[in-house]
Amino acid sequence: MARKASIRTKKSPIPTLIGAGITEQWYFKHLKTLKDYRVKIRPRFFGTETANGMTKRIEEVLRNDGFAICVFDADVSTWNEMELKKWNALRRKYKDNPSVMLCDSLPSIEYWFLLHYKNTNRYFGTSQAVIDDLKNFIPQYDKTEKFLQQEKWVDEMVDEGRQEEACDRAKAFGTDGESYTNVYKVIDELNNIKNE
């Protein structure tokens, strides 16, 4: 009598988030808790503000056969020619690597937050301009540890279907406008992994 072969579906590897700073770190840490996402968030993978720093962290994840999701602001590349060249080289290097997902926002991740409340892709000259607009919806918003570590601001942002609206808006705008964000790709990926 033949044995039945046990068939196990292989789950996707748990991604490691790499981010530009504490804003991304706290945002995704809160999302992990609120949405029960399967993702690795380690402080040492945040604070990589340069293309070289991001590359170093990506390579560390890849050496361990991991999946790297990189979230960073694209505004520095708009005023620093050398950094723009490095970011473009990083994009080319990992463009076809299925173990790396690059998710940038122009001018900053606060634009992604703003899409939870407002349907806009107008030009924001600086990340501070986005923050000023965001404060119409999150008046206490502040890029400090004291504010960011509070879960409430993320909880309110994803409440009432706002996260889905932000994803839809970001997808509709694409990357051709004055402002854009690819953070929706992270959300889509984490939702897919969660539903496996």
* pLDDT score recorded for residue 11: 63
- The two tokens of residue 68 are 């790297």
Assess whether pLDDT exceeds 60 at residue 3: no
Tell me the pTM: 0.90
Q: Is 174 left (phi over 0), alpha (psi -120 to 50) or beta?
A: left
Question: Is 138 in contact with 156 (CB distance < 8 Å)?
Answer: yes
pLDDT digits (tens, 9 = 90+) for 29-48: 999 999 999 999 998 888 86
pLDDT digits (tens, 9 = 90+) for 57-83: 999 999 999 999 999 888 765 666 887
Q: How far apart are CA 100 and CA 5, in angstroms?
A: 33
Nearest partner of 22 among 76, 81, 71, judged by Cα = 71
Q: Is 30 left (phi over 0), alpha (psi -120 to 50) or beta?
A: alpha
Question: Is 128 in contact with 107 (CB distance < 8 Å)?
Answer: no
* pLDDT score recorded for residue 176: 82
Residue type for position 157: M
Q: What is the band of 5 on the pLDDT scale with cuts at 50, 70, 90?
A: very low
